[in-house]
Amino acid sequence: MRIGVYICHCGLNIAHVINVHSLQEKVSKLKDVVLVKDLQFMCSDSGQDSIAEDIKAHDLDHILVAACSPKLHEPTFRRVLQKAGLNKYMLEMVNIREQCSWVHMAEPQLATQKAFDLIRMGLARLKLLDPLQIKTVTANKSVLIIGGGVAGIEAALTLADSGYHVHMVEKEPTIGGKMALLNEVFPTNDCSICVLAPKMTDVQQHPSVDLMTMAEVSEVRGFAGNFQVTVTKKPRYVIEDRCKGCVDECSRVCPVEMANRFDMGMGRTKAINMPIPQAVPQVAYIDSDYCVGCGLCMQACPADAIDYNMKEETISIKVGAIILASGYKIFDAARKEEYGYGVYPDVITNMELERLLNASGPTRGKVLVPSTRQIPKKVAFIQCVGSRDETVGNPYCSRVCCMSAMKNAQLLKERYHDIEIVIHYIDIRAAGEMYEEYYIRSQSMGIDFIRGKVAEVQQDLNNKLFMRFEDTLSSEVTEEYYDLVVLSTGMEAPDDADKISRVLNLSRRTDRFFAIAHPKMRPVDSHVKGIYIAGCASGPKEIQAAIAQGLAASAKTMQLLTWGELETDPLSAHVDEEKCIGCKICEDVCQFGKIKVINGKATVDEVSCYGCGACSASCPTDAIMMRNSTDEQILAQVRAATEVKSEFPLIVAFLCNWCSYTCADLAGVSRIQYPTNIRAIRVMCAGRVDPDFVLEAFKGGADGVLVAGCRLGECHYIFANYSAKKRMEVLQGVLEDIGIDPHRLKVEWISAAEGERFARSIESFVDELKEIGPIGSELLEGHNDG
């Protein structure tokens, strides 16, 4: 075995804390290491070339790179190995930047020791790696797009124009999303529907796009290149091929009138209606919640398009990739009770104002005070309603509210010159192209800006609205009367995000939007290969950014499917039939149905296996192995971590690839400091953690073990972390039985965005272990690994 070890300076990101030269000297003395190099920037062209040249010149067969997170550059260095003629899976990356130098800046000596321990752990695993072989599968070149808003529309047209077949699924009766309901869009003040409607029509008329409205994806199986998708299509009760869009004929005779939800409930419509005048498809639909089945619309329809007997349909499609563009929902302003929304009729939301300003809205573009039906003389906008607000669980900025309020304030000023407008803000966010200029223009038009949080909106005895607020620039608390108060409500993840998360097996952030693979380098990739995220599905953003992400997601999709063949991930489960007793535990544990017991032996669909490892950890006979994440490899890392107990208390941590390992990286990126006591081992899922791993850590002398996975209910592998939870709870009882304080085993369920919480968790665990004292390893003597 000939191992080459490469230690990156990363400029001064690593080298200003870790003594790289001392580290190099120590590593050079380790067994089987024939070459140790330190390079300024390992990921640079010269750094990569140096590794490739050394592999050939020194006949290296295993490579360890100690640098940044493998989440960032593992694919980069695998390509280097492949280029040099070495199997790309003979690589081990050790994270000495995000999880070492960046989080231990005040303790360079201990950080250097930790870096050395991490390299020893990496070498222990590296020596047991196998040169895996990659299989190829034929990829289906069709694409599913979930969501028909502007991001989904842009992605659909880009793909369809490039020769790919697109299935678009939209839950509403029309595509267009929230943008179709807007009046004008900033910063150019273009008519929103004027620029969007042609694209909506193009989607419907494109020969390579199959459009399904009033439909939802109910099940997704398979893997990148070969997804089997089940779509549930709700009945429209109007035959699309027959309807001519002359909705006046049928709605005129309908006796049921209801609030129009596309006008935010301000306008009225009939039980059979066209959602918006520019709807695509231009087909009426019957709202089954309100229809009384009188039959009048059927009699009035000249095209014989009404069919009350329509049933829910189940449609199966096969696609190679999926783009999620599910959008957002508007924050319910009634949750901020102090502002009186839903209590006082003259308190409205910004989206309701959009509909009032819209020529096709409930007042045909005339803005009237709801209680008096008069044009308002004095209007107040309240910013950050449901955003930047911990009290409602939304600490984030919704990005568009400041600009949207300025846009609508400008439009009011242009229509009603004498109107007085005040925008009450916390901070103005105007950080896009032309946005600052737009802000200045708003001021020049006579729109006032008052910095400070509005305390409450009330109504006096004469039913006149007044607001109590603080002007933080003058430090004065003031009360003012207004005719109309507009609440700039923020964005939230849609109500069906939970269902989508389960169906697509996607992770979500603490703000409940869908998590992307990397916040900087992979902005539209999800954690699941072949599934991409665009627009507001991954968080609040303006229309320009949503369109850009629609384009980016379509580009990534084309990159994936262009050649018609895909490489499968070889890191799958594998069954040793001689050990398998056919107990079916693995079959029950696998959330994806990839394991079946046939003729008394478990078999794995290795091509589509997700590689979480929950089956391996649950197998009572160790008959299921994970390729290049074997029990032997993980135990070797554990033994290397506990071999030299450099500090007390020593913590061995098993971090799941998707959340806890990522949030540990985030703590590093954010330079959040925590103790150096932790030695992390990356596993694909907390469900992969076998109790034997924990027991081996204690046997070796670890003072504590941390098992951290995704938050319960948000696991990348659906419910695999629930299996881990049950397993660890049982293990804590076992520890108590054998004389080990169960508090030495800490279990955390944490999201990828909780870097601060991760750091504080390590701090508190170190303090707890100091109180408990050093582990008595003799307690585990004679422990039987079986």
Cα separations in angstroms, 272 against 264, 267, 279, 295, 307: 17, 15, 14, 11, 12
Helices 543-561 and 150-161 cross at an angle (nearest 10°) of 40
The C-alpha atoms of residue 247 and residue 273 are separated, in whole angstroms, by 6
Residues contacting 532, CB < 8 A, separation 6+? 321, 322, 323, 324, 524, 525, 526, 553, 556, 557
Q: Which regions of 678-771 does DSSP assign to beta strands (E)?
A: 678-683, 704-709, 745-749
In the beta sheet, which residues pair with residue 381? 423, 486
Cα separations in angstroms, 567 against 203, 220, 418, 530, 608: 31, 20, 66, 12, 11
The C-alpha atoms of residue 216 and residue 214 are separated, in whole angstroms, by 7
The H or E element containing residue 482 is strand 476-482
DSSP summary character for residue 99: I
Cα within 13 Å of Cα(502), Cβ side? 9
- Both structure tokens of 439: 């802000």
The C-alpha atoms of residue 152 and residue 553 are separated, in whole angstroms, by 9
pLDDT at position 139 is 93
The H or E element containing residue 665 is helix 660-669
The H or E element containing residue 204 is helix 192-205
- In Å, how far from its chain's centre is CA 691? 30
Q: Which residue has the tokens 């590296």?
A: 126
If phi over 0 gives left and psi between -120 and 50 gives alpha, with beta otherwise, what is residue 405?
alpha
The C-alpha atoms of residue 70 and residue 665 are separated, in whole angstroms, by 10
Q: Which residue has the tokens 């929230």?
A: 178
pLDDT at position 779 is 52
The C-alpha atoms of residue 485 and residue 478 are separated, in whole angstroms, by 16
- Provide φ and ψ at 525, rounded to 5°: -80, 140
Identify the three-state secondary structure at position 256. coil
Residues, the chain, total? 786
Q: What is the mean pLDDT of each run of 10 residues along the chain (786 residues)?
A: 96 96 96 96 94 96 97 94 95 97 96 97 96 88 98 98 98 97 94 96 98 97 92 97 92 96 94 96 96 96 96 97 98 97 97 95 93 95 97 95 97 95 96 90 96 95 94 92 98 95 86 85 88 97 96 97 84 91 92 88 85 92 91 97 88 95 95 97 95 95 95 80 92 93 96 94 96 72 45
- Provide φ and ψ at 36, rounded to 5°: -130, 125
The H or E element containing residue 653 is strand 651-656
pLDDT at position 780 is 52
Hey, CA dihedral for 57, 63, 67, 68, is it positive or negative? positive
Rounded to 5°, angle at Cα 762 from 761 and 764: 65
Sheet containing 678-683: order of strands = 678-683, 651-656, 704-709, 745-749
Q: Measured in Å, how far apart are the chain's first and last C-alpha atoms?
A: 31
8 Å CB contact between 275 and 313: no
In sequence order, what DSSP letters do the residues of 388-452 get, joined into one string? SBGGGTB-S--SSHHHHHHHHHHHHHHHSTT-EEEEEESS----STTHHHHHHHHHHTT-EEEES
- Provide φ and ψ at 665, rounded to 5°: -65, -40
The C-alpha atoms of residue 617 and residue 688 are separated, in whole angstroms, by 5
- Provide φ and ψ at 508, rounded to 5°: -125, 155
DSSP summary character for residue 262: G
Cα within 13 Å of Cα(147), Cβ side? 30
**pTM for the whole structure:** 0.77
Q: Which regions of 264-320 does DSSP assign to beta strands (E)?
A: 268-270, 272-273, 285-286, 313-319
pLDDT at position 319 is 97
Domains and their CATH numbers in the chain? 1-132 (3.40.50), 142-321+539-561 (3.50.50), 329-492 (3.50.50.60), 568-625 (3.30.70.20), 629-775 (3.40.50)
Name the amino acid, one letter, at 442: S
